[in-house]
C-alpha cells in the first residue's frame, strides 16, 4: 500500500550537473527525495555556465545558476559529487545499484580559493572552459563562477618542480598529490540522465576548413569571446591576432540537418546566431554582417526577435548553405554559397566567420554500456520506468525546454521512487 | 521569379525520374551545397541546385533544354556532400536519360531503348536482320579452307561479288541512320536551349566555320584531354577507364573504315586485298592495341561502377549498364572471333563473328538513344555553353 504522505523510500540519482540536472535534482529534493547529483567536470553549471547570455531573457548565466546553487547549498537532501562519472548500473526500477567513479581533483575541501597555488604554479594548459582560446595555470579555479568553489589540478601537465611549488604554496594542506580515483556505490530508486551535449566538432566539416584560419570560430567560442569572464574580457576580437573584426558572417546549419554529420536540427543555433548578432551590434554598431542559412527557425515566441534584426540594413541574409571557405592572406576568410533566391554564387569576405554548430549528445557510445536505450542520433530515450532522460540528453533544446523536461523527469523519478 | 510563376508539375516525369535512379530527389531541401562543391559549375547560375527544384516541380521542358544537365559529368561530389542523401548527380543522370529518349528519333526506337525489359527485343532485331541475310546469302555453313570473315555471307566471292557487299548494305545505312537520328535530336536540343536564353537581340549568327572552330573544336579538345573529368573529385578514377575507351573507339572507327575501303571497295577489283590483314600491318597492330584498350577501359569502368553502386547502395539501372555491356560485348566478341580464327576453330570463329556483328549493329543503331548518346549531346552542350558566353549571345555595347 502506498501512503503518499509517508517519507520517500528511494533516492534519485541525477547524472549531469548542467541546467537540466540542477533543475531535476532540486525539484526532486525539494519535495523531500534524497538526491545524488553527479557531475564529471570539476564544477556545476554545464554549458549554460559558458554562455554570455541565454534565452529567454538574455540573462548572464550567473543569474539563473546562482539561484540554483543557493538552493543546493540550503538543501541537505542533495549530495553533490563533482569529477564523478557513472561506471555501471545494475538492478531495476526502484532498486538500482550504481557504481560511481570519483576522479582525483588533487585538491581537498580545505581549499579556500586563496590563489597562492596559482601564483606558484609554473605550467600552463589550454583553457578548456574557453575552448583553448587562452591559457590557464594547471592548478586553477575552473572558472570565475565555479561551484563548488574549489580549485582543480591538472597533475599530468605539471613538472615535479611545479608540483612541489604548489604544495609548498598551500598553507591549508588542501593539495593532495596522492589522491586516487575511487569508486562508490549508491542505491537509488531511479536515475535521471541529464548528460547534456557537446558542441559538434567543426573539424569534421571538411569543406568549411575550420583549422585553415583563426577567423573561423564556432558559436560556442563566440559566447566565450563575448563573455566578460572570457579570454578577451568580453571584447569580440579575432583569436590569434586580436584584431577588431570589421565584418562578420554566420554559417547556419554547420553540420546540422546533415546526414554526414548531425542528421537533426539542433533547434537552438538560429536563435543563438541572432543573439550573437546582438552581441556584435553592441560593440560594432555598423559592421556588416552576413547570415547564410537554409531556413531560419525561430521557435516559440522569437519571431519578433528575427523581425527586429531583419530591419538592420547592415545585415545581409543569404538563403544558401556555405559549402566552401577560403582562408585569405590578410587574415580574413571568404565564404562561398549559392544564393538560392537569385540562383547565383554568393561570396562574403569577412574578418570573422562563426560556424553555428549544433548539439551532439554528450553520452554517445557510453550509453549502451550503461543499459540505456538511445535513438539513432544517440539521444537517450526514456524507456524503462526509473531510467529517465532530461534536457539535451533527450533532445536538442534551449534552456527553457530543458528546465521543463527536467521538472517532468523529476516528477517521474519521484513516482518511480514511491511505488 | 518575383513576379511569380505558375508551376504545372508533370507528374509522369517526376515518377520517371524517381524510377530512373533519381528516387532520392524529393529529399532535397535546397541548401545549395551541391552548386558550390560541384567542380564543373560556374559562378553564374550554377548547377545542380536549380535542376533539383525543377525536378521536384516536374518542369520537364526546362530540364530537357538545360545545357547544365548535359554538362554534368556525374563526378559525384554533390552526392558525397549532400546533407540529405538526395544524390543530385544521380538525378541529373536520370534527366539525361530522359532527354535522350525525349529527343530520340524515331520515338518508337528511342522508347524501346529506354527500358531494360526491352533488351531481348533490342538483341533480337539485329540477330534477325543479320541472321536472315546470312541464311539467304547461303553463307550459313562451314566453308572449306582458311577461316576468312570476308566470306561470312557466302564464299561465292568471284561468282557473286554482291555477297561481300551485304555487310556494307547492312551497316552503312545503319550508321547513316544513327547519324541522322543524332542530327535530329541535337538540333532539337539546341533549339530548346537557345529558346531559354534571355530574349535579347542576337548580335549575329556564327558561320559554320566559326561555329566549328570557336565552339565545337574547343569542346572536342576538352573532351579528348578529359579536362573536366580531371576536375572531378569523388569519381576521379573514371578517367583511367574512360580515356583508353575514347581513344580505342576512335582508333577502331578508323581501322574499320580503312578495312572496309581496302577489302570491300578496292578488294572487289584488286585480287588479294580481300583477305585478313597480316599481323605486321600497322592497321592490324592499331586494331589489336585498340581492341585491348577498349576491353581494359570498359573493364575499369565496370569495376568502378560496381564498386560505387555497392558503396553508395544505389540500384543499378539499365541506362548505366547498357553502354558498359554493349562495349564489352563488342570488344570481347571481336577479340574472341580473332582468337578462334587463329586457332582454326571454325564453328566458334563464325559464331562469335556473328555475335560481333550483332553487337556492333546494336552499338550503331541504339547509340543515339542510350547513355552512349552523351558523346554527341554533351559535346554540343559544351559548345552551347561556349556559345552562350560568347559575343554572339552576350549583348555587346
Q: Kindly report the pTM of this predicted structure.
A: 0.88
Nearest residue to A174 (alpha-carbon basis) of A139, A145, A147, A144: A139
**What pLDDT, on the 0 to 100 scale, is given for residue A223?**
98
Distance of CA B252 to the CA centre of its chain: 15
A321 contacts on B by Cβ (under 8 Å): 31-33, 83
pLDDT digits (tens, 9 = 90+) for A243-291: 999 999 999 999 999 999 999 999 999 999 999 999 999 999 999 999 9
SS (H, E, C) A206-238: HHHCHHHCCCEEEHHHHHHHHCCCCCCCCCCCC
Q: How far is B97 from chain A (nearest CA, A)?
A: 25
Cα–chain center distance at B250? 13
3-state DSSP call for residue B224?
A: helix
A345·B81 Cβ contact <8 A: no
Residues of chain A with a CB closer than 8 angstroms to some CB in chain B: 207, 253, 257-261, 294-295, 320-324, 336-341, 343-345
Check residue B357 and give its pLDDT. Answer: 94
Chain A positions touching B82 (Cβ under 8 A) are 259
CB of B24 within 8 Å of a chain A CB? The answer is no
* CB atoms B46 and A344 under 8 Å: yes
Whether residue A345 and residue B36 make contact (CB cut-off 8 A), yes or no, is yes
Return the pLDDT at A8. Answer: 57
- Alpha carbon of A254: minimum distance to chain B alpha carbons (Å): 10
Cβ distance of A343 and B45 shorter than 8 Å: yes
Q: 3-class SS at A384?
A: coil
Helix, strand or coil for residue A80? strand
Are B83 and A343 an interchain contact pair (Cβ–Cβ within 8 Å)?
no
Q: What is the pLDDT of residues A102-123, one digit of tens each?
A: 999 999 999 999 999 999 999 9
CATH 1.10.1060.10 residue spans of chain B: 11-102
Query: Which residues of chain A are within 8 Å of residue B52 when distances are taken between CB atoms?
Result: none
At B201 the pLDDT is 58
Cα angle B37-B42-B48, degrees, rounded to a multiple of 5: 55
Q: Closest residue of B to A338, CA-based?
A: B32
In the prediction, which pLDDT does B262 show?
85
Tell which residue, A140, A138, A141, A176, has the closest CA to residue A157. A138
Q: DSSP assignment of A310-377, as one string?
A: HT-TTEEEEES---EEEE-TTS-EEEEEEETTTTEEEEEEESEEEEEE-EEESSTTHHHHTT-EE-TT
* B44 has a chain A CB within 8 A of its CB: yes
- Which H/E stretch holds residue A188? strand A182-188
Q: Is residue B310 less than 8 Å (CB to CB) from chain A?
A: no
Distance in angstroms (rounded) separating the CA atoms of residues A392 and A24: 13
Asked if the Cβ–Cβ distance from A294 to B49 is below 8 Å, we say no
| CB within 8 Å of B183: residues ≥ 6 apart | none
**Mutation choice for B interface testing from A295, A319, A321, A347 by most B CBs within 10 A:** A321
Tell whether B46 lies on the interface with A, counting CB pairs under 8 A. Answer: yes
**How high does pLDDT run on average in chain A?**
94
Distance between B241 CA and the closest CA of chain A, angstroms = 28
Euclidean distance between CA atoms A21 and A403, whole angstroms:
9
Instruction: Provide the grid cell at A236.
Output: 569580440
> Is CATH 3.40.50.300 the right assignment for the domain spanning A12-103+181-196+362-418?
no
Whether the CB-CB separation of A116 and A211 falls below 8 Å is answered with no
Spell out the long-range contacts of A343-347 with Cβ–Cβ below 8 A and sequence spacing 24 or more.
A343/B45, A343/B46, A343/B50, A344/B43, A344/B44, A344/B45, A344/B46, A345/B35, A345/B36, A345/B42, A345/B43, A345/B44, A345/B46, A346/A292, A346/A318, A346/A320
- pLDDT reported for residue B234: 76
User: How many angstroms separate the Cα of A268 from the Cα of each of A50, A151, A251, A356, A389?
Assistant: 15, 32, 14, 9, 19
**β-strand partners of A59:** A54
Please tell me which of the candidates A257, A258, A324 has its beta carbon nearest to residue B36: A324
- The answer to whether residue B86 neighbours chain A at the CB level (below 8 Å) is no
Q: Note whether B36 contacts A253, CB cutoff 8 Å.
A: no
User: Measured between beta carbons, which residues in chain A are less than 8 angstroms from residue B1?
Assistant: 341
* Rounded Cα gap, residues A281 and A226, in angstroms: 11
Residue B33 touches partner A, C-beta closer than 8 Å = yes
Q: What angle do CA B249, B327, B258 make, to 5 degrees?
A: 35
What is the Cα Rg of chain B in Å? Answer: 23
CA B196 to CA A61: how far, in whole Å? 57
Strand order in the sheet with A84-92: A84-92, A95-102, A182-188
Q: Looking at the predicted complex, does its ipTM rise above 0.95?
A: no
Q: How far apart are CA B157 and CA B164, in angstroms?
A: 7
CATH number for the domain formed by residue range(s) B11-102 = 1.10.1060.10
Higher-confidence residue: A192 or B6? A192
Q: β-strands A182-188, A190-193: how paired?
A: unpaired
* Residue A103 DSSP class: -
Residue A6 has pLDDT above 70, yes or no: no
B37·A323 Cβ contact <8 A: yes
Residues B73 and B334: their CA atoms lie apart, in Å, by 29
- The owner of cell 554564387 is A345
Q: Quick one: pLDDT at residue B203?
A: 60
Confidence of residue A2 (pLDDT cuts 50, 70, 90): very low
CA dihedral B36, B38, B43, B45 (to 10 degrees): -100
Of A171, A101, A177, A172, which Cα lies nearest the Cα of A139? Answer: A177
How many CB atoms within 10 Å of residue B264? 18
The number of angstroms, rounded, from the C-alpha of A259 to the middle of its chain's C-alpha atoms is 23
Query: Which residue does chain B place closest to A207, by CA atoms?
Result: B37
Instruction: Please give the full DSSP string across B87-150, using - where no structure is assigned.
Output: -HHHHHHHHHHHHHHHT-SSHHHHHHTT-GGGHHHHHHHHHHHHHHHHHHTT--S--SSS--GG
Tell me the shortest Cα–Cα distance from B179 to chain A, in angstroms.
36
Q: What angle do CA B300, B304, B309 make, to 5 degrees?
A: 150
Question: Is B37's Cβ below 8 Å from some Cβ in A?
Answer: yes
Q: What number of other Cβ atoms are within 10 A of residue B353's Cβ?
A: 20
pLDDT tens for residues A14-65?
Answer: 999 999 999 999 999 999 999 999 999 999 999 999 999 999 999 999 999 9
Rounded to 5°, the CA angle A182-A188-A194 comes to 80
Chain B residues touching residue A340 (CB < 8 angstroms): 30, 32, 49
Query: Closest partner residue to B29 among A207, A294, A324, by Cβ?
Result: A294
Q: What's the gap in Å between the CA of B236 and the closest CA on chain A?
A: 18
Grid coordinates representing A270?
538560429
Q: Which residues of A touch B24 (CB under 8 A)?
A: none
CATH architecture of the domain A201-358 equals 3-Layer(bba) Sandwich (3.50)
- Give the pLDDT of residue A143: 94
Yes or no, beta carbons of A260 and B81 under 8 Å apart: yes
Count Cβ–Cβ pairs < 8 Å, chain A vs chain B. 64
Separation in Å, CA of A345 to nearest CA in chain B: 5
Asked if A338 and B30 come within 8 Å (Cβ–Cβ), the reply is no
B31, B34, B43 ranked by CB distance to A294: nearest:
B31
Mean per-residue pLDDT for A341-354?
96
Q: Where exactly does CATH 3.50.50.60 map onto chain A?
A: 12-103+181-196+362-418, 201-358
Set of chain B residues whose Cβ sits within 8 Å of the Cβ of A343: 45-46, 50
Contacts of A389 (CB under 8 A, 6+ apart): A192, A193, A194, A372, A379, A380, A381, A382, A409
Residue B45: its chain A contacts at CB < 8 A?
A: 343-344
Q: Identify all chain A residues contacting B59, using CB atoms and an 8 Å cutoff.
A: none
CA angle B246/B251/B254 to nearest 5° reads: 130
B196 touches chain A (CB under 8 A): no
Query: Residue A1: what pLDDT?
Result: 39
- Answer with the residue of higher pLDDT: B143 or A146: A146
B81 at interface of A, judged by CB pairs closer than 8 A: yes
**Contact of A283 with A236, CB cutoff 8 Å:** yes
Percent of chain A with pLDDT over 70: 98
Q: Which residue of B has its CA nearest to A261?
A: B83
CA distance A13 to A86: 10
* Alpha carbon of A149: minimum distance to chain B alpha carbons (Å): 44
CB interface of B with A, residues 47-66, below 8 Å: 49-50
pLDDT in tens, chain B (397 residues): 456 667 778 888 988 888 877 778 899 999 999 999 999 998 889 999 999 999 999 999 999 999 999 999 988 899 999 999 999 998 999 999 999 999 999 999 999 999 899 999 999 999 999 999 888 877 777 777 777 787 777 665 544 455 667 888 889 999 999 999 999 999 999 999 998 887 665 667 788 999 999 999 999 999 999 999 888 877 777 888 999 999 999 999 999 999 888 877 787 777 777 777 888 889 999 999 999 999 999 999 999 999 988 887 777 889 999 999 999 999 999 999 999 999 988 889 989 999 999 999 999 999 999 999 999 999 999 999 999 888 777 765 4
Kind of pairing between the strands at A135-137 and A124-126 = antiparallel
| Beta bridge partner(s), residue A184 | A100
**Strand ranges for A219-310 from DSSP E:** 248-254, 289-293
Residues B381 and B71 sit within 8 Å (Cβ to Cβ): yes
Amino acid at each position: 500500500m502506498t501512503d503518499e504522505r509517508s517519507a520517500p523510500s528511494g533516492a534519485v540519482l541525477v547524472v549531469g550537473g548542467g541546467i537540466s540536472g540542477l533543475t531535476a535534482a532540486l525539484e526532486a529534493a525539494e519535495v523531500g527525495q534524497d538526491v545524488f547529483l553527479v557531475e564529471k567536470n570539476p564544477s556545476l553549471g554545464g554549458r549554460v555556465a559558458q554562455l554570455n547570455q541565454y534565452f529567454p531573457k538574455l540573462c548572464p548565466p550567473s543569474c539563473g545558476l546562482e539561484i540554483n546553487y543557493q538552493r543546493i547549498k540550503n538543501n541537505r537532501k542533495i549530495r553533490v559529487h563533482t569529477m564523478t562519472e557513472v561506471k555501471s548500473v545494475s538492478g531495476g526500477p526502484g532498486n538500482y545499484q550504481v557504481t560511481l567513479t570519483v576522479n582525483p581533483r588533487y585538491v581537498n575541501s580545505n581549499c579556500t580559493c586563496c590563489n597562492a597555488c596559482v601564483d606558484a604554479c609554473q605550467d600552463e594548459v589550454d583553457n578548456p572552459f574557453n575552448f583553448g582560446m587562452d591559457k590557464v595555470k594547471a592548478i586553477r579555479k575552473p572558472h570565475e563562477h565555479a561551484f563548488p568553489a574549489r580549485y582543480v589540478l591538472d597533475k599530468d601537465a605539471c613538472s615535479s618542480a611545479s608540483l612541489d611549488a604548489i604544495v609548498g604554496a598551500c598553507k591549508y594542506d588542501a593539495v593532495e598529490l596522492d589522491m586516487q580515483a575511487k569508486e562508490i556505490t549508491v542505491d537509488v530508486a531511479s536515475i535521471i540522465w541529464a548528460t547534456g551535449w557537446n558542441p559538434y566538432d567543426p573539424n569534421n566539416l571538411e569543406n568549411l576548413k575550420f583549422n585553415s584560419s583563426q577567423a573561423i570560430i564556432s558559436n560556442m567560442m563566440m559566447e566565450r569571446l563575448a563573455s566578460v569572464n572570457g579570454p578577451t574580457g568580453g571584447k569580440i576580437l579575432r583569436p590569434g591576432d586580436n584584431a577588431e573584426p570589421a565584418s562578420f558572417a554566420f554559417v547556419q546549419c554547420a553540420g546540422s540537418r546533415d546526414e554526414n554529420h548531425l542528421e537533426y536540427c539542433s533547434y537552438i543555433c538560429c536563435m543563438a546566431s541572432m543573439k550573437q548578432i546582438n552581441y556584435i551590434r553592441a560593440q560594432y554598431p555598423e559592421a556588416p554582417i552576413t547570415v547564410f542559412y537554409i531556413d531560419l527557425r525561430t521557435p516559440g515566441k522569437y519571431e519578433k526577435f528575427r523581425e527586429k534584426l531583419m530591419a538592420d540594413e547592415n545585415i545581409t541574409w543569404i538563403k544558401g548553405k556555405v559549402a566552401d571557405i577560403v582562408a585569405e592572406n590578410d587574415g580574413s576568410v571568404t565564404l562561398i554559397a549559392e544564393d538560392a533566391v537569385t540562383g547565383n554564387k554568393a561570396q562574403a569576405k569577412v574578418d570573422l566567420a562563426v560556424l553555428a554548430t549544433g548539439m551532439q549528445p554528450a553520452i554517445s557510445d557510453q550509453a549502451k554500456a550503461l543499459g540505456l536505450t538511445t535513438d539513432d542520433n544517440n539521444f537517450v530515450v526514456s524507456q524503462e520506468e526509473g531510467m529517465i532522460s532530461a534536457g539535451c540528453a533527450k533532445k536538442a533544446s534551449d534552456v527553457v525546454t530543458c528546465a521543463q523536461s527536467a521538472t517532468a523527469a523529476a516528477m517521474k523519478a519521484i513516482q518511480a521512487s514511491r511505488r | 521569379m518575383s513576379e511569380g510563376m505558375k508551376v504545372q508539375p508533370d507528374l509522369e516525369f517526376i515518377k520517371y525520374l524517381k524510377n530512373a535512379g533519381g528516387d532520392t530527389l524529393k529529399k532535397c531541401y535546397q541548401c545549395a551545397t551541391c552548386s558550390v562543391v560541384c567542380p564543373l559549375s560556374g559562378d553564374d547560375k550554377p548547377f545542380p541546385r536549380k535542376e533539383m527544384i525543377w525536378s521536384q516541380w516536374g518542369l520537364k521542358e526546362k530540364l530537357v533544354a538545360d545545357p547544365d544537365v548535359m554538362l554534368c559529368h556525374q563526378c559525384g561530389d554533390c552526392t558525397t556532400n549532400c546533407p540529405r542523401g538526395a544524390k543530385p548527380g544521380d538525378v541529373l543522370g536520370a534527366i539525361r536519360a530522359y532527354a535522350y529518349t525525349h529527343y530520340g528519333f524515331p520515338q518508337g526506337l528511342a522508347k524501346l531503348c529506354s527500358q531494360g525489359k526491352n533488351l531481348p527485343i533490342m538483341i533480337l532485331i539485329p540477330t534477325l536482320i543479320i541472321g536472315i541475310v546470312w541464311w539467304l546469302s547461303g553463307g550459313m555453313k562451314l566453308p572449306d579452307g582458311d577461316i576468312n570473315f570476308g566470306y561470312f555471307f557466302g564464299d561465292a566471292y568471284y561468282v557473286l561479288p554482291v555477297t561481300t557487299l551485304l555487310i556494307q548494305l547492312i551497316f552503312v545505312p545503319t550508321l547513316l541512320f544513327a547519324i541522322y537520328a543524332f542530327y535530329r535530336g541535337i538540333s532539337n536540343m539546341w533549339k530548346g536551349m537557345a529558346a531559354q536564353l534571355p530574349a535579347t537581340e542576337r548580335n549575329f549568327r556564327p558561320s559554320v566555320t566559326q561555329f566549328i572552330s570557336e565552339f565545337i573544336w574547343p569542346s572536342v579538345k576538352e573532351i579528348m584531354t578529359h579536362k573536366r573529368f580531371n576536375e572531378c573529385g569523388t569519381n576521379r578514377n573514371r578517367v583511367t577507364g574512360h580515356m583508353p575507351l575514347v581513344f580505342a573507339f576512335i582508333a577502331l572507327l578508323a581501322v574499320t573504315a580503312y578495312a572496309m575501303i581496302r577489302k570491300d571497295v578496292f578488294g572487289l577489283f584488286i585480287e588479294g586485298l580481300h583477305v585478313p590483314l597480316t599481323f605486321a600491318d600497322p592497321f592490324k597492330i592499331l586494331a589489336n592495341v585498340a581492341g585491348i584498350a577498349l576491353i581494359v577501359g570498359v573493364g575499369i569502368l565496370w569495376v568502378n561502377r560496381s564498386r560505387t553502386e555497392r558503396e553508395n547502395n544505389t540500384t543499378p539501372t539499365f541506362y548505366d549498364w547498357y553502354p558498359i555491356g554493349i562495349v564489352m560485348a563488342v570488344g570481347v566478341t571481336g577479340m574472341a572471333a580473332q582468337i578462334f580464327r587463329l586457332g582454326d576453330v571454325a564453328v566458334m570463329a563464325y559464331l562469335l563473328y556473328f555475335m560481333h556483328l550483332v553487337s556492333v549493329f546494336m552499338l550503331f543503331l541504339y547509340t543515339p538513344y542510350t547513355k552512349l548518346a552523351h558523346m554527341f549531346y554533351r559535346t554540343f552542350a559544351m559548345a552551347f555553353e561556349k556559345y552562350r558566353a560568347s559575343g554572339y549571345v552576350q549583348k555587346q555595347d
